[in-house]
Structure 1
Amino acid sequence: MMRGAFDDAPLTTLFPLLTPAEAASLHRAAGTVDAARARRTAADWEWALEHAAFPGTPLGTPIVLGLDVIEHAEGGDQLEFLLQVVWTDRGHLAVDTAVNVACWCETDHATHDVDALRLVIDETSLSDAFRAGAERLTGWLADPHDADHWRAKAGLPPRRMS
């Protein structure tokens, strides 16, 4: 994975069919996300040139382009906000957005998605899906940055204090 500012991401290499208008739309949407997280720890955008073409049915989810904003709290708690362009197992691009929290269940699940959205590109354009994902992410970034707030919304157990 390569990392840097969104402006550094080689969009036309990652998405060869992207028109100049669609690329401009992605830049505007990424700009709203960058502005929403500007007061927090900087997080780089990531991209994988080797995932520009569908890699076949892989293990895991091949990320083409994404942003992962992680916030850590005392006691090992974690809150994570994601916006990613990924390949589905059927060879379609999708925009995934999610809020993840560290798991404090009796059985350790590692993390839980407490809110998520997936938009498959064959159902909409990449620029429209990315804009919708960016809007969802900026809305989440405006919400409380307390993992227990998100756990309560999802009906998950609160963090165990040591």
Structure 2
Amino acid sequence: MKNIMTYCVLAIASSSVYAADKPNILFIAIDDQNDWIGHLDGHPLAKTPHIDALAKRGTTFTNAHCQAPLCNPSRTSLMLGLRPTTTGIYGLSPWFRTVPEWSNRVTLPQHFANQGYYTASTGKIYHGFRRNAKKQPRKGQAGQPIQTEFEVTGKFGG
């Protein structure tokens, strides 16, 4: 019995030596998502080969729900890990970083970066309320460069 206990303790203590590397995590947040992508038996006019190939290699959540019926409160809730009723953000503004209570709170991407992951966030997750953001192009400005907000944290290959 003593040998079995010693073996168990050694096995548990050394298990981190054989632990796999951190898993790769790709989190895609899409506003106004529908089931038109091929992976979800989509619409015949929607051609989504790359997202379909990615979905075959990963995990798809088909019973997920947003926290609030409006994008900014839902996005803020997700990024901060708080209920929408806790954040106090119920409309399209303010951006959460302009609210004193949340100006320094660690976001989901920052949390992953703090754990050694390489993170990149772009698009609507971080749109609209940055002080130095450029306005979207007006009619007739098609083809001209626009600002895409991009936040990169953590070390590459984490």
TM-score, normalised with respect to structure 1? 0.25
Q: Name the structure with the higher strand share.
A: 1
Larger Rg: 2
